[in-house]
Amino acid sequence: MDIEEIFQSLSVLVADPNLSEGKRVELLDRIKKLAAVLERPEDVLTKLAFSPSQFMTARVATELKLFDVIVRQGKVNSEELAETTGANKVLIERLLRVLTASGMVDEAGVSTYTPNKITKTLTSRTGEAMIRAFWDIKLKSMARIPEYLHHTGYKNPEDATNGPFQFAYGLKDQPFFDWLHEPKRAREHDTMHTYFEGDRGSRPDWVKWFPVEEKFFKNVKTQKDDVVMVDVAGGRGHDLDAFVRRFLDVQGRYVLQDLPMVLDDRALELHSKIEKIAMDFWKDQPVSGARIYYMKFIMHDWNDERCLQILTNVTAAMTKGYSFLVVEDFIIPDQGCPLLAALFDMQMMNALSAMERTEGQWVKLLKAAGLRVEGCYPPPGDGTGIIVAELK
């Protein structure tokens, strides 16, 4: 596609008054193609090589609360930032050069700064947690993946107890989540679970684009004692809360399940309809006969063998002809994979020796668990898709 074709397609998309999520992603893709035409290969490599410095700068700024000060003040100079944070004025200006050049902060004059929408996002709980989670926890093992793969003869990492994370941290047979949930790692635990709240980014919640009512409630009217939905290992409950608030007129119970230490977290104010039940998905599924068993970003944490252990407990609790398993995760296309999904896959390899799956891999896995896949539904953009399954 040449420059003229790209500009023509961009003008059509920009003129759309009702820009959908799919169109928004398509527009971004065209812009990237335009940048690829204009950028020289050597410049692309230079930016790639220096990109860790950009991330490092954002992490230092997070620690100094620079983003918070800039948002709070509205307009502030380097001298005022130095006085507020206790950091050296020259250092502040060096950091802000990177932040303004990368679009995280705006310049309002010489050594004077104002916030933009990215600055404000970086002051949010989930925004700050994302920076901390990836830099403080995941970067160490990511940096050693080349060494790890060389050491293993470039085998695909599949052992959650002996992967890149264990190699980097010197752990012996300890999976990532066991490490994370140690009592001495309270800060890391909070950081990761806060990040999990915002890992959807700005992409629409699945209940906003998937035909939930048509699939699950069209021919079934639940009663107040029926379990409508079980969020299996649902963390702090943000996804279940969004579901409940979207379908307030649906009668029934809503159950959030996770380990006790996660459920005891009071970070979120959940809807009163949600009840919490502690569980360990390696052992059993304590709630039987629910209409929906929902699992977001669970299966991508484990290899097929471990997934089948989890699914065995879920299927044992499902009612044939009534219950559905709903998996929200990336559905990797066989060709033309979006960058976000591909990068998520690298993070699964990094921390968990796991992977994102293609549609064929999802169908194979769920079939092995005694389930029939009703459908794999790609998202309206580059986010997570929905896989719906029921007992054979």
Of 189, 193, 238, 300, which one is the catalytic site residue?
300
Closest CA to 113 of 101, 124, 128: 101
Residue 216: count other Cβ atoms within 10 Å of its Cβ: 20
The residues with which 324 forms a beta bridge, in sequence order, are 292
| Neighbouring residues of 32: CB distance < 8 A, sequence distance ≥ 6 | none
Give per-residue burial for 195-207: e unless 16+ CB within 10 Å, then b: bbbbbbeebebbb
Query: For 280, phi and psi rounded to 5 degrees?
Result: -125, 110
Looking up tokens 């033309």 gives: 336
- Are the beta carbons of 244 and 274 closer than 8 angstroms? yes
What secondary structure does DSSP assign to 99-142, as a single string?
A: HHHTTSSEEEETTEEE--HHHHHHTSHHHHHHHHIIIIIIHHHH
CA atoms of 242 and 293, how far apart (whole Å): 15
Q: Is 181 a catalytic residue?
A: no
| Sequence-separated (6 or more) residues with CB below 8 Å from residue 46 | none
Question: 279: helix, coil or strand?
Answer: coil
**Spatial CA neighbour of 235 closest among 292, 197, 286, 205:** 197
| Catalytic residue set | 300
